[in-house]
Amino acid sequence: MKILDWKTDGSNFLRLYLGGNELEYWWGDDWDDAPYEDNAGQVYSDYVCSTMDVIVPDEAVIFSPDNLRGNPISKQDIVSNRLPVVIDLKGKNWNWDEAKNDPETIKFVVGKELII
């Protein structure tokens, strides 16, 4: 299965929305609007085969993509540019740019196969 979308409540909870590996296209409300945090809905349920909930330690931080070359981004940008959602298990990074480049963090890339 591939990761189609994600949701976090700002604490230690992450939900991954999963679809079949054969999917080449999926969408949700306002996925072409930026910034996605203020506009985009979750992936349409028609594309979702399953969800996976991940609970991380209290000290961990979940970073969602927050910009692309300094500009606000849409969910469409996240999918097309393969921008990762990052889990910093040690809570040592202060932002997404630092966390995505840290070899000790876990990265989930929307549009890629989930390998456990």
Task: For residue range 20-77, list pLDDT tens digits in order.
Answer: 999 999 999 999 999 999 989 999 999 999 999 999 999 999 999 987 777 899 999 9
Q: Is the pLDDT of residue 93 over 90?
A: no
- Asked if residue 54 is part of any domain, the answer here is yes
pLDDT reported for residue 99: 92
Share of the chain above pLDDT 70, in %: 99
Alpha-carbon distance of 90 to 9, in angstroms, equals: 18
- Asked if residue 114 is part of any domain, the answer here is no
- Asked if residue 84 is part of any domain, the answer here is yes
* Domain with 29 in it: 2-109
In the chain the first and final C-alpha atoms are separated, in Å, by 11
Domain count of the chain?
A: 1
Give the pTM.
0.90
Listed residue (19, 8, 43, 11) closest to 113, CA to CA: 19
DSSP 65-82: ---BTTB---HHHHHHTT
- Asked if residue 105 is part of any domain, the answer here is yes
Residues 4-23 pLDDT 10s:
999 998 778 999 999 999 99
- For 94, the 3-state DSSP assignment is coil
Tell me what the pLDDT averaged over the chain comes to: 91
- For 13, the 3-state DSSP assignment is strand
- Asked if residue 116 is part of any domain, the answer here is no
- Asked if residue 115 is part of any domain, the answer here is no
- Asked if residue 48 is part of any domain, the answer here is yes
